[in-house]
Chain A
Amino acid sequence: EAGVVQSPRYKIIEKKQPVAFWCNPISGHNTLYWYRQNLGQGPELLIRYENEEAVDDSQLPKDRFSAERLKGVDSTLKIQPAELGDSAVYLCASSRASNQPQHFGDGTRLSIL
């Protein structure tokens, strides 16, 4: 089966600019996650979707971050405006259900100038 697909792989922007990341989960996976991974750290959850519903967004900085999964399949994560501290790898993962193993995409490496 095809894995989790993310795009773009790399993004370089200036601070205060907007940026968006896209994720296509594994077919049939109802649960989708967005994580942020800082250099030398483990992934940290930003938001979790069950189908199209965001069921855990407690760690999402809502003043500048937003996400959507309108049809319960693909998802986008947006940052507006980006700050220097947002530089990280943004990983998307999916699972058949929330109690099943998670599988990650390759991530988007974001660099803020």
Chain B
Amino acid sequence: GENVEQHPSTLSVQEGDSAVIKCTYSDSASNYFPWYKQELGKRPQLIIDIRSNVGEKKDQRIAVTLNKTAKHFSLHITETQPEDSAVYFCAARGLGNTPLVFGKGTRLSVIA
């Protein structure tokens, strides 16, 4: 089955700097890659997703890139703000009705 590895497990950046979180996946048939943000005690919120037919997607300060050959995808947050502090999860899903498999999460701290 699919296996998703996420790095780093913790990340601290200064306010205004960029943050990058990387994930690798094992199933070359995976075609959908969402990213979720989870604040303490709250629900995971979908912040951006990408499908395998595109290499990059942007939404204001966040972007996701996908390298199908290397089987990795990354989340980029620019001009970080304290409210970006949270745990971020990547996930991958294969073809058909295979389940969404999550990484173990990255705890991002933005220091004011």
- Chain A residues with CB under 8 Å of chain B are 3-4, 40-45, 48, 55-56, 91, 98-99, 101-107
Contact = CB atoms under 8 A, between A and B. Distances in A.
B46 interface: yes
Contact of B104 (A42, A99, A106): A42
Given A91-B44, A104-B44, A45 B104 contact: no
A105 B42 CA distance: 9
B101 to A, nearest CB: 8
Q: Which of B46, B100, B103, B105 has the most CB of A within 10 A?
A: B100
B49 A42 contact: no
Interface of A, secondary structure class, is loop
Contact of B97 (A43, A98, A103): A98
Interface in B14-41: 32, 34, 36
A40 B45 contact: no
Nearest to A55: B97
Cβ-closest 4 pairs across A and B: A42-B102, A104-B43, A45-B99, A106-B43
Contacts of B105: 40-42
A104 B45 contact: yes
B110 interface: no
A45 B100 contact: yes
Contacts of A102: 34, 46, 100
Given A98-B97, A106-B42, A41 B34 contact: no
24 contacts: A3-B43, A4-B43, A40-B104, A40-B105, A42-B89, A42-B103, A42-B104, A42-B105, A43-B89, A43-B102, A44-B102, A45-B100, A48-B97, A48-B99, A99-B32, A101-B34, A101-B46, A101-B49, A102-B34, A103-B46, A104-B36, A104-B45, A106-B42, A107-B43
